[in-house]
Amino acid sequence: MAFRICVVCSGNICRSPMAETVLRARLAEQGLAEEFTVDSAGTGGWHVGEPADPRAVAALAAAGYRVGAHDHAARRFARDWFDRYDLVVAMDRGHERELRRLAPTARDAAKVVLLRDHDPDADDQDVPDPYYGDDEGFHACLRIIESGVDGMLGVVVTRS
């Protein structure tokens, strides 16, 4: 059975779809794609059903990731989803707090980790939200996500 990961941000149209794409790509590069299932969701429901932000898609494409504008539909993380996932990766401390508050058990709360906790280059635990900024903010956010995923990958593979 595959190890199941859900990456979570606010609305599931910027950071978490980018992190989902990067994590899938890194796992595929290591020949581990079949051993993992990677999804994403948001803590809020205001973008449910919407595709990824076009600026996120453009940043991913510019960095060489294969992604289409309609490959994603935003979802909201629900309390009963903790049964579906082995690891829930939060993009910032606010998401981490919200997810742990939502967790039905202490065991479920322990599934929640911050993406940047294992990033040796992190000067902050939060992946900044690029939504209200310009295109460069999405490229900068992607670089932070890539570094976070690379730092977290060994932990994910060991934990599975």
**Catalytic residue positions, numbered:** 9, 15, 129
Per DSSP, the residues of the chain read --EEEEEEESSSSSHHHHHHHHHHHHHHHTT-GGGEEEEEEESS-TTTTPPPPHHHHHHHHHTT----TTS----B--GGGGGT-SEEEESSHHHHHHHHHH-SSHHHHTTEEEGGGG-TT-SSSSPPP-TTS-HHHHHHHHHHHHHHHHHHHHHHHHH-
Evaluate whether 119 touches 147 at the Cβ level (below 8 Å).
Answer: yes
Evaluate whether 6 touches 77 at the Cβ level (below 8 Å).
Answer: yes
